[in-house]
Structure formats: C-alpha cells, structure tokens
C-alpha cells in the first residue's frame, strides 16, 4: 500500500508543511491583545492602509506606462536598436528595489553629485531652489516602477509575439490602419498577460520592506516590523500580517475576476509573423528614446554608480566581505537545492496520479510566492519557537543542559521560510521540463517492474537536467536578494550581502554598501538573461 501511494502521501505532507506558516498566522492573529490592536487602529492603521493603497496605485500606473509601450514597440515595430532593446529592457529586473533606492539617494540627495553640481554652477544655497525629494512616497513609487516594469514588459511582449498574424490582417482588411488594429485587437488580446504581469509587480510592491523603510513611508510591511520589534507583540504583528495577506488575496481574486468570462485564442497554426511596422525619422527617434529611458534610469545609471563606488570609493574588500559572500551563496544554494528537490517530488506526484486532490496540493504548495517575506517569516517563527521551547522543557525535565534555540535560532528557520517563499518558482521550471517527457516512458518503466521512485530517479531527472538547473539558478538568485525574511529570521552574528547592504545604507554609508549591492545585481543578471533566451526560443519567425 505504501509503495503504491507513498509518493502521493508524501506530496500531501509537503503541501501541509509548506502551508503551515499561513495557517499559523491566521490562527495566531486571534490571540492579539485587544488594547494594543485598538491603539494601532486609533493611531497608525489608517496611515498604513492609505500609504499601501497609494503605493499600489502609483507603482501599478508606472509599470503599465513603462512596460506595455516598450513591449509593443519591440514586438511590432522596426526601429534602430530594437533587437538590443528587446533583451536589454529586462535588465532592471536584476536590480532589487532597495538597492536602486539606496543608489539614487546617494546620487540625488542634498550631498549627492547632482545637487552639489547645481549649487556650484548656480551659486544657490540650501532652500534657494526646488529639487525632487527622493525620500518620499513619490520617490518610492518611481524606484519600484523602474525595477518592476519588466514583469509587465516580459509577459506583454511574450503575448504580442505569440499572437496570430490573421487577427491583425483581418483588422486591416476591414479598414483599420495597422496602428488602430494593433490598439483595438492586439492590445485587448494581450490583456490577460498584462494583468498577470501587473499582479506580480503589485505583489512585489506589497512585499517590499527595504525601500519603504529607507524612504520613511509607513506601509503594512514596515508596520509589521515595528510591531514585532518595537512592541514585542507577535500576535499583533500577526494581525497586521493578516491585513497584508488580505491585500495579496484581493489582488489574486481581482486578476481572476477580470478575465472570468473572457476567452483569448490565437491561431496556433499560423507561424508567420506579420511585417514589422517600419519607423523612421522622428518616429524612430521617439521609439528609441521611449525604450532607452527605463533602461537608462532603471539599470545603467544605478549600476554604473554602484560599480564606481565599489571600485574607487568603498573600503577595500577584506575577509569580512568573503565571509558575507560565503554566507549568502551557501545559504542560497542550500535553499535552492531543498526547493528544487521538493518541486521534483510534487511535480512527479501530480504526473503519477493526475487527480484533482494532487493538483490541489500542487496549487497550495505554490501559494507561498504570493506572500511577502514578512508574513512567511512570522508564520515560520511562531511554530518553530514553540517547538524550541518544548524541546528545552523536555531537556530540563530530563536534567540535561539547555540545548538553546535549535530551530528558530538557526539556519533551519531561514531555509524553511525560503522554501515556502520560492517553491513556486522551482515548481514552474520543473513542471515545464517534466511536461516535455512523453508518458510512454513512464508506462515502459512500470512494465519493467520499476517503482515510481526508480522511474523518477533513473529516467526523468536525467532527462530534465536543463529545467532543474534553471530552477536552481532562479531560486538561488531570489534567495540572494530576499531581505525581509532574512532580517527577521537570521541567527545572531550571521549576515548576508542583502542584510549588510541594508545595514550600511541605513547608517548612511551608501558607498560602503556598494560592493555587496553590485554583487547582488551581477548575480541577478543570470536569470534575466535566461528569461530572454527562453523567449527568443519561443518566438515565431
């Protein structure tokens, strides 16, 4: 019986384990102190709500304005630099929002090179001229829009490239100009992809902590940190986390509701691309400028500034940086390995028994990616702390020495949180690779008497090495950039490059934060270039 159903049972256990932080947050929130919650409600809760909504609206507008036009231009038009822009516009995805926020603060703040040059050239002093305040709600919106628009660009461009030629040609035959056919037909057909990209960007906005905290913008994420560390009230922090979770769920439901009855089909039998719209003269110049602007401000300028600081102004790299790099890379590698192994087991369980309960298990397991790291961290900390105290009580009852916090005070908590947060990323890549393997290989393996575990180990894993490597790399980089969960759960005297960059920037040592920041950005380029290669392979010619 176990041999027949062991894989499915194991998949169910994994799903329940992965969902544990969400269950704990929901149940623990009911234990909050009413007086403290009333105090939060009377003082700061409305500020958290309003600021979170403003941030969502501003970033949502920004990523649409930057992502959709650039995706349209690089997919449908011919102008100088189009091929280069088609992949280069993905580069800001490698720049974490909190890093670009620190960098532009160093550039645009009062003591930065831009305002210093203005004062030197004009002779004006402090208060004599107006300049954009980077540390503000507007600054946070601009910073996040610059690094999150690739979510919309990526999915919108993929949708434009896969659209049938026939729909555009039919529109032209009915008297539409090519521009009007693109606006009236191509854009609505790409709406599901655009909304999906927008939802991802908004979820990342809600999950952000480093940017809003550094700019002094109070949101649900910063409120959770203040309640958790300032008041020491885990239950009240859990209640705020439930409020943030409600925002995330609302985004998911709105995305699904927006296309509840809509159906978008493409004539897959048509492989020919429509002729690109040729742009010349001023139109070509405008198209190139529109594509260059987000790339310039979202990647080239901050990356160049970070590189300059790291090479010429930061303190020389020593053993401390080597230790930081080792901590970051080893932790990211372990988390990626755990997430990918679990993703392989879950994906194969679904393939082995493609029934609704198993499919539901897979869906539940991937839910963690929609949750901010703050929520997951608190949901992980509560049960592990309870288990630690139970272990300590057991040791003391037996007359043994106190073992300390074996779970909540070690890397176990971090690895658990990373697995919950990024399992969905690994699932996507692994499932894609598994779907390309013909079911006849499974049947052949069973006919020879092999168990499902043997078939998975000896046949499927070797065949999908590329997908597994892709999953490992993407999870590796995501863990390397993760800040909120790492800040809450890291053991004492344990730092990563993300945490070190945050600490130095918080102390206004922006230059010294550059080496760790530029390392994170450079490593983050790996999955970005992989995404570009994936889209290029799928593009019809």
Give the domain ranges of the chain: 1-23+315-510, 32-259+274-300
Rounded mean pLDDT, 376-388: 87
Rounded mean pLDDT, 452-474: 76
Contact 99, 499 (CB under 8 A): no
Contact 152, 67 (CB under 8 A): yes
378 compared with 442, residue with greater pLDDT: 378
Distance CA 396, CA 393 (A): 5
pLDDT digits (tens, 9 = 90+) for 430-441: 877 777 777 776
Confidence of residue 51 (pLDDT cuts 50, 70, 90): very high
pLDDT digits (tens, 9 = 90+) for 134-174: 999 999 999 999 999 998 998 888 777 766 555 666 666 66
**Residue whose C-alpha is closest to residue 509's, from 309, 307, 325, 327:** 309
* Backbone conformation region of residue 417, classed left if phi is above 0, alpha if psi is from -120 to 50, else beta: alpha
pLDDT digits (tens, 9 = 90+) for 464-484: 777 788 788 888 888 888 888
Residues 269-287: b if buried by 16+ CB within 10 A, e if exposed: eeeeebeeeebeeeebeeb
Distance CA 538, CA 190 (A): 16
Highest-confidence range of 10-14, 15-19, 51-55, 408-412, by mean pLDDT? 51-55
pLDDT digits (tens, 9 = 90+) for 298-326: 999 999 999 999 988 888 777 788 888 89
Provide, for the chain, the percentages of residues in helix, strand and coil under a 3-state DSSP scheme, each rounded to the nearest 5: 80, 0, 20
pLDDT digits (tens, 9 = 90+) for 112-142: 888 888 888 888 877 777 888 899 999 999 9
Residue 141: CB partners within 8 Å, gap ≥ 6? 55, 58, 59, 62
CATH topology of domain 1-23+315-510: MetI-like fold (1.10.3720)
Element of type H or E holding 77:
strand 77-78
15 compared with 31, residue with greater pLDDT: 15
Q: What is the DSSP string of 325-376?
A: HHHHHHHHHHHHHHHHHHHHHHHHHHHHS--HHHHHHHHHHGGGGGS-HHHH
Identify the pLDDT of residue 269. 42
pLDDT digits (tens, 9 = 90+) for 197-239: 888 888 888 888 889 999 989 988 888 888 877 777 777 777 7
Rounded mean pLDDT, 346-353: 77
Identify the pLDDT of residue 2. 40
Residue 35: CB partners within 8 Å, gap ≥ 6? none
Look-up of token digits 């074996």: 406
372 compared with 182, residue with greater pLDDT: 372
CB atoms within 10 A of CB 120: 9
Identify the pLDDT of residue 178. 62
Domains 1-23+315-510 and 32-259+274-300 share a fold: yes
Identify the pLDDT of residue 202. 87
pTM above 0.85, yes or no: no
Distances in whole angstroms, Cα of residue 30 to Cα of each of 173, 242, 410, 484, 538: 62, 10, 28, 23, 49
Rounded mean pLDDT, 70-88: 88
What kind of architecture, by CATH, is found in domain 32-259+274-300?
Answer: Orthogonal Bundle (1.10)
Distance CA 294, CA 470 (A): 27
Tokens of residue 478, six digits? 């995501």
């Amino acid at each position: 019986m176990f041999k027949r159903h062991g894989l499915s049972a194991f998949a169910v256990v994994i799903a329940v384990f992965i969902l544990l932080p969400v269950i704990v947050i929901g149940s623990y929130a009911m234990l909050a102190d009413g007086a403290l919650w009333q105090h939060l409600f009377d003082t700061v809760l409305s500020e958290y709500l309003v600021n979170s909504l403003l941030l969502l609206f501003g970033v949502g507008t920004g990523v649409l304005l930057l992502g959709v036009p650039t995706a349209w231009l690089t997919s449908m038009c011919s102008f100088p630099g189009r091929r280069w822009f088609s992949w280069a516009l993905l580069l800001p995805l490698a720049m974490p929002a909190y890093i670009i926020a620190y960098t532009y603060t160093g550039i645009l703040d009062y003591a930065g090179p831009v305002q210093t040059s203005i004062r030197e050239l004009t002779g004006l002093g402090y208060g004599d001229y107006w300049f954009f305040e980077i540390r503000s709600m507007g600054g946070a919106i601009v910073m996040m829009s610059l690094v999150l628009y690739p979510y919309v660009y990526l999915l919108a461009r993929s949708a434009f490239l896969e659209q049938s030629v026939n729909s555009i040609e039919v529109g032209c035959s009915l008297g539409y100009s090519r521009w009007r056919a693109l606006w009236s037909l191509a854009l609505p057909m790409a709406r599901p992809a655009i909304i999906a990209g927008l939802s991802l960007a908004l979820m990342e906005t809600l999950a952000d902590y480093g940017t809003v905290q550094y700019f002094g913008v109070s949101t649900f994420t910063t409120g959770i940190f203040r309640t958790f560390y300032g008041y020491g009230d885990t239950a009240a922090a859990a209640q705020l986390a439930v409020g943030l979770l409600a925002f995330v769920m609302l985004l998911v439901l709105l995305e699904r509701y927006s296309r509840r009855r809509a159906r978008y089909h493409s004539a897959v039998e048509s492989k020919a691309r429509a002729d690109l719209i040729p742009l010349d003269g001023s139109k070509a110049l405008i198209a190139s400028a529109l594509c260059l602007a987000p790339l310039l401000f979202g990647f080239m300028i901050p990356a160049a500034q970070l590189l300059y600081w790291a090479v010429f102004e930061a303190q020389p790299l020593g053993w401390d940086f080597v230790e930081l790099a080792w901590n970051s890379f080893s932790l990211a590698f372990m988390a990626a390995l755990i997430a990918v192994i679990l993703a392989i087991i879950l994906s194969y369980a679904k393939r082995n028994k493609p029934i609704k309960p198993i499919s539901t298990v897979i869906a539940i397991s991937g839910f963690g990616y929609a949750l901010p790291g703050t929520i997951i961290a608190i949901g992980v900390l509560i049960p592990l702390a309870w288990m630690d105290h139970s272990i300590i009580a057991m040791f003391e009852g037996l007359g043994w020495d106190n073992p300390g916090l074996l779970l909540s005070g070690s890397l176990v908590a971090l690895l658990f949180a990373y697995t919950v947060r990024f399992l969905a990323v690994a699932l996507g890549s692994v499932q894609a690779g598994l779907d390309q393997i013909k079911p006849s290989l499974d049947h052949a393996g069973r006919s020879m008497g092999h168990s499902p575990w043997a078939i998975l180990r000896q046949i499927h894993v070797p065949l999908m090495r590329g997908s597994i490597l892709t999953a490992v790399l993407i999870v590796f980089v995501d863990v390397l950039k993760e800040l909120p969960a790492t800040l809450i759960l890291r053991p004492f005297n344990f730092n990563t490059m993300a945490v070190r960059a945050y600490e130095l920037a918080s102390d206004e040592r922006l230059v010294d934060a550059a080496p760790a920041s530029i390392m994170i950005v450079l490593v983050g380029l790996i999955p970005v270039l992989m995404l570009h290669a994936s889209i290029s392979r799928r593009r019809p010619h």
